């Protein structure tokens, strides 16, 4: 790698002294690199799944148009991740006047510090290089954020120590926005900023400069502004003031995965399921049940749709379910960690905190609703995967007075012994392609799915933990040979 120029004189002899690099704005830089990546077929936002035909083309157009933009979406829709990947479209590094707080361009300084430094040292002025990852500044908007935090303020201590008048530009303490000069400045949850602070963003978005504390100090900043917000805040509560909305060039609406398959891909990509020391095998149908829990929750009338159900829910549920299976494997001495449907029930503590309930939901309670969501998800998964497989012999056995109860923390071979009591259950799991007959842990997980699915369809009843009986149980005890209790 060639040595980068370290002084202004060296910089004048480098490509940075000539067009198109000299004088290029951040938004031009983003546009140029984005066009190159599009032409070469490079992935633009690696790891962002499900937005290829919806969000990413809109965002690409906004960047090509050199717009400030806002991402509107409910929680858990990868808005912050998208913003942080914008640095991919920046150059590897840009030259700045060494010691500058606002990343001064050596050929077009904006601060008094840099101008005096260049006047004093000329071509001997030291040059530093700002890497792309340091050109992204992010701020979470909260009601207590002030104009001084974002723009800057006069620093009396700085004035006293330097012997400057308060009106001197050298007494200024620059806020986050000037410090993001020649980079990207992102604000998460924009509506939470007070109206006064939002007004402070006007000049930089339209005129490209900021003013500090009413003093005649103008800083023509070069920055791309990107925002995120909840669409309910943006459209209904009106917390983004109209003049600011008018200055945002592009508005991009994000969304949750449009299909269960896409959701499974995202969850599988993000969830931490690798555990040291033991092999983890997550059945495909368990992944589907976990994902369908989120899909069912997003359609449930007892859950607040304005808050949404974050994609973090299935990620957390899968991690929790794998942990419960890991704990069971340690207790039973099994070599492979294989999550079951019962492990998803064990993960209910990772669901309840992510569900914002309406009044009816509050009356029923988050845990009751979470259990119902798991059962419905299992029913939908069973329907999708085994719709043509006859399960009548299983139902008939329970209708005839059969009852089954197993322990969630029991070894797989003992669980399979219990499931084998139910005529046709193991055969249905194999015939439905859920598991091979010789993979005992996977077969047990498949049997649990079938029983949970039948309970969701109300063809059998689920009593207490992993207990199953006829759909309309009466007071009669199961006859001889008609029950199994592993506990």
First to last CA, the chain: 67
* pTM, 2 dp: 0.85
Cβ count near 463 (within 10 Å): 14
8 A C-beta contact, residue 255 and residue 309: no
Q: How far apart are CA 291 and CA 262, in angstroms?
A: 9
pLDDT band, residue 476 (cuts 50/70/90): very low
Q: Mean per-residue pLDDT for 133-141?
A: 94
pLDDT band, residue 166 (cuts 50/70/90): low
Q: 424 in helix, strand or coil?
A: coil
Query: Given a cut of 70, is residue 401 above it in pLDDT?
Result: yes
Which of 12-26, 76-90, 288-302 bottoms out in mean pLDDT, i.e. has the lowest?
Answer: 12-26
E strands, 115-158, are 127-131, 136-140, 152-154
CA torsion 431→434→439→443, rounded to 10°?
-90
- Higher-scoring residue by pLDDT: 246, 166: 246
pLDDT band, residue 80 (cuts 50/70/90): very high
Domains of the chain: 8-253 (3.40.50.300), 260-485 (no CATH)
Q: Mean per-residue pLDDT for 12-18?
A: 90
As beta bridge partners, residue 357 has 303
User: What's residue 482's pLDDT?
Assistant: 55
8 A C-beta contact, residue 75 and residue 308: yes
User: What's residue 162's pLDDT?
Assistant: 59
Give the tokens for residue 181.
């000069």
8 A C-beta contact, residue 473 and residue 400: no
Q: How far apart are CA 429 and CA 422, in angstroms?
A: 12
Q: 50 in helix, strand or coil?
A: coil
8 A C-beta contact, residue 219 and residue 205: no
Reference 323, options 346, 341, 290, 355; nearest CA is 346
CA torsion 84→91→34→85, rounded to 10°?
-10
pLDDT band, residue 90 (cuts 50/70/90): very high
Cis ω for the linkage preceding 438 (within 30 of 0): no
Most confident of 63-67, 361-365, 431-435: 63-67
Q: How far apart are CA 102 and CA 185, in angstroms?
A: 13
Query: Given a cut of 70, is residue 154 above it in pLDDT?
Result: no
User: What's residue 485's pLDDT?
Assistant: 63
458-475, pLDDT tens digit by residue?
A: 999 987 666 888 876 444
User: What's residue 173's pLDDT?
Assistant: 76
Query: Given a cut of 80, is residue 212 above it in pLDDT?
Result: no
Which of 217-226, 238-247, 299-308, 310-319 bottoms out in mean pLDDT, i.e. has the lowest?
Answer: 238-247
pLDDT band, residue 137 (cuts 50/70/90): very high
Q: 3-class secondary structure for 279-344?
A: EECCCHHHHHHHHHHHHHHHHCCCECCCCCCCCHHHHHHHHHHHHHHHHHHHHHCCCEECCCHHHH
Cis ω for the linkage preceding 233 (within 30 of 0): no
Q: Mean per-residue pLDDT for 387-399?
A: 87
User: What's residue 478's pLDDT?
Assistant: 45
246-305, pLDDT tens digit by residue?
A: 899 999 999 999 999 999 999 999 999 988 878 999 999 999 999 999 999 999 999 988
Alpha helices in 165-305 (DSSP H): 176-179, 195-199, 202-206, 231-232, 242-247, 260-270, 284-299
Q: Mean per-residue pLDDT for 356-372?
A: 91
User: What's residue 475's pLDDT?
Assistant: 40
Q: Pairing state of beta strands 210-211 and 218-219?
A: antiparallel
Chain-centroid distance of CA 317 in Å reads 15
Reference 301, options 382, 384, 364, 344; nearest CA is 364
Reference 124, options 242, 5, 291; nearest CA is 5
As beta bridge partners, residue 183 has 223
Query: Given a cut of 60, is residue 480 above it in pLDDT?
Result: no
Q: How far apart are CA 198 and CA 452, in angstroms?
A: 52
Give the tokens for residue 331.
């207790």
8 A C-beta contact, residue 185 and residue 225: yes
Reference 35, options 61, 67, 54, 4; nearest CA is 61
pLDDT band, residue 216 (cuts 50/70/90): low
Average pLDDT, the chain: 88
User: What's residue 171's pLDDT?
Assistant: 66
8 A C-beta contact, residue 95 and residue 5: yes
Query: Given a cut of 80, is residue 486 above it in pLDDT?
Result: no
8 A C-beta contact, residue 415 and residue 444: yes
């Amino acid at each position: 790698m060639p040595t980068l120029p370290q002084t202004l004189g060296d910089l004048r002899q480098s490509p940075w002294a000539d067009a198109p690099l000299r004088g290029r704005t951040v938004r031009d830089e983003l546009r140029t690199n984005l066009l190159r990546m599009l032409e070469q077929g490079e992935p633009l936002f690696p790891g962002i799944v499900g937005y290829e035909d919806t969000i990413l083309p809109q965002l690409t157009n906004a960047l090509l148009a050199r717009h400030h933009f806002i991402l509107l979406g409910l929680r858990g829709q990868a808005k912050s991740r998208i913003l942080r990947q914008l640095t991919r479209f920046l150059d590897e590094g840009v030259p700045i006047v060494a010691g500058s707080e606002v990343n001064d361009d050596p050929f077009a300084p904006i601060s008094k510090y840099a101008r005096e430094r260049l006047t004093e040292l000329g071509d001997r002025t030291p040059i530093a290089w700002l890497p792309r990852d340091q050109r992204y500044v992010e701020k979470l908007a909260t009601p207590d954020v002030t104009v001084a935090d974002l723009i800057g303020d006069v620093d009396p201590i700085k004035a006293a120590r330097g012997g400057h008048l308060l009106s001197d530009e050298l007494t200024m303490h620059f806020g986050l926005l000037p410090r993001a000069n020649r980079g990207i400045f992102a604000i998460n949850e924009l509506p939470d900023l007070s109206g006064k602070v939002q007004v402070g963003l006007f000049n930089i978005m339209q005129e490209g400069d900021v003013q500090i504390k009413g003093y005649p100090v103008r800083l023509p900043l070069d920055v791309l502004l990107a925002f995120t917000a909840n669409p309910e805040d943006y459209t209904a509560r009106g917390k983004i003031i109209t003049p600011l909305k008018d200055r945002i060039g592009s508005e991009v609406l994000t969304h949750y995965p449009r299909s269960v398959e896409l959701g499974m891909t995202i969850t599988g990509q993000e969830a931490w399921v690798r555990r040291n020391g033991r092999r983890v095998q997550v059945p495909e149908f368990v992944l589907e049940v976990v994902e369908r829990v989120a899909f069912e929750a997003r359609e449930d009338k007892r859950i607040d749709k304005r808050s949404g159900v974050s994609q973090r829910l299935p990620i957390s549920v899968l991690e929790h379910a794998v942990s419960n299976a890991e704990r069971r494997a340690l207790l039973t001495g099994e070599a492979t960690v294989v999550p079951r449907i019962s492990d998803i029930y064990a993960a209910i503590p990772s669901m309840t905190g992510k569900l914002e309930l309406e009044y009816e939901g509050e009356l029923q309670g988050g845990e009751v609703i979470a259990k119902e969501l798991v059962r419905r998800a299992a029913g939908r998964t069973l329907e999708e995967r085994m719709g043509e497989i006859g399960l009548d012999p299983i139902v008939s056995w329970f209708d005839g007075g059969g009852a089954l109860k197993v322990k969630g923390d029991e070894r797989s071979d003992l669980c399979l012994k219990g499931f084998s009591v139910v005529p046709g259950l193991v055969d249905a799991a194999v015939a439905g392609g859920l598991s091979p007959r010789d993979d005992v842990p996977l077969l047990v997980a498949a049997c649990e799915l079938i029983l949970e699915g039948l309970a969701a369809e109300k063809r059998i009843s689920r009593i207490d933990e992993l207990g199953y009986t006829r759909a309309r149980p009466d007071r009669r005890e199961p006859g001889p040979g008609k029950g199994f209790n592993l506990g």
